Structure 1
Amino acid sequence: MSTAEERQVSSRVLTLPNLLSMLRLVLVPVFLVLLIRGEDCWALLVLVVASVSDYLDGFLARRYDQVTRLGQLLDPAADRLYIFAALLGLASRDLVPWWIVLVVVGRDVFLLGVGVVLANFGFGPLPVHQLGKLATFCLFYALPMIMLGQAFPMLAWWSDPLGWAFGIWGAFLYWWAGIIYAIEAVRVIRLTGAKSPGRSDTLED
């Protein structure tokens, strides 16, 4: 991140973009309850509101220089929670297999372990890989497509195949990005160890 970009990231909490992000988080349990109860139309409406607020908070943060550290944490957290909620709600109704839930959740548990290892070596989280963003995008839009087919059966003939295509591809990319992240973490740790006193300055790639 450049120095100019760093100056734009503030530690403010009460900003309009952050309030929109908090609204998204508050709506997660509402979304999950509606989905479990089979009220797919209302669940989709909540998801649309959350998606619009996601777009608005990003736009407003950039437009009015209100990018904050809190916002940078809340946005990806909200995305993941909606993905988890959609997976749990659909799996509880046997609309998606539980192994998909384990694949997606297992990947984040894996990265949590990588984060703990990095922290033990004195590192913070590494930059998010673009592949991870693409995977999140696929998953974030795959599950609503499956929900759309449940809410409006006349659309299922195209929404279900499209949703499953996005979902399977997104799950694959999700793990691929996670493995790349883990490899980069190992590289950073080895590089630091190689430069420490008493160790060789050379490092095999």
Structure 2
Amino acid sequence: MSQRPAPSIETSNRIFTLPNVISLLRLLGVPLFLYLLLVPEHDVAAVIVLAIGGSTDWVDGYLARRMNSVSRLGELLDPFADRLYILATLVGFTLREVVPWWLTGALLMREVVLGVSLVVLRRHGFGPPPVHYVGKTGTFLLLAAFPIILLAKAVPGWSEWAYPVGWGLAWWALGLYWAAAVLYLIQTVRLLRSDRPGPEAAQP
């Protein structure tokens, strides 16, 4: 008996969908997190906001697929919210000396490399390469590591377990983050090579 192909998920132009609302709420949590971390330095409250933002990373995408409400806006909001959370956390943590500057530099340099690759692809008429599961896993681990690292600072009694767990996740995430960058660079090179004219097309 032949199996029926799985139904494809169509991308719509809808704006007001539940997954998009969740993504927007995640974005609103970024300035709240920075305020709690940097102004009154309410670290426990900042941990809660950061943990909610990180734990809901997969919710919007999951609901979009389950409810067949994948939208073009959602495809932009989800990765944008992830990157904004990571960038805001790195800036806040570096200013508060929660993480060393070299970790911030290593993660930001990865974003610079990908940004340059995207610019090169756009100049040749290509869109961004598809998101790789290695990169998504690295993002998930980073969003899990950050609140645990902050928790180690906010509650000294928990630092005995929170510090090694948080930094273990952070090191793992950093490795996956750069592994994903290498994969994206390989995809970029392949796309650019495929865009080159062959020997016959190059002849006048």
Amino acid at match of 1:34: L
Question: Are residue 101 (structure 1) and residue 73 (structure 2) matched?
Answer: no
Looking at secondary structure, tell me which structure has more helix per residue. Answer: 1
Supply the distance in 2 between the matched residues of 1:195 and 1:119 (Cα, whole angstroms). Answer: 21
2:83 counterpart residue number:
80
Distance 1:120 1:171, change over 3 A: same
Length-normalised TM-score, structure 1: 0.87
**Structure 2: 5+ residue stretches without partners:** none
The one of 18, 21, 30 equivalent to 1:19 is 21
- 2:161 paired with 1:158: yes
Which residue does the alignment assign to 1:30?
32
Task: Note the alpha carbon deviations across 1:55-94, whole angstroms, 9 max, x for none.
Answer: 4433432232111111111111111111111111111111
The alpha carbon displacement at 1:3 in A equals 9.7
RMSD between aligned residues:
2.2
1: CA distance, partners of 2:13 / 2:199: 33
Residue of structure 2 equivalent to 1:174: 177
Change in 2 beyond 3 A, CA 1:139/1:56:
closer
- Pairs within 5 Å for 1:36-185: 36-37=38-39, 38-51=41-54, 53-185=56-188
CA-CA distance at 1:198 after TM superposition? 2.2
* Same amino acid, percent of matched pairs: 44
How many residue pairs get aligned? The number is 198
Q: Which segment is superposed worse, 190-199 or 117-126?
A: 190-199
8 Å CA contact retained: 1:35, 1:86: no
C-alpha offsets along residues 25-44 of structure 1, whole Å, 9 cap, x if unaligned?
Answer: 11101111211232111112
Cα 1:56–1:188 change in 2 (3 A) is closer
Whether the 8 Å contact between 2:54 and 2:140 is mirrored in structure 1 is no
Residue 112 of structure 1 aligns to which amino acid in structure 2? G
Does the aligned pair in 2 maintain the 1:36–1:90 contact within 8 Å?
Answer: no
The amino acid across from 2:118 in the alignment is G
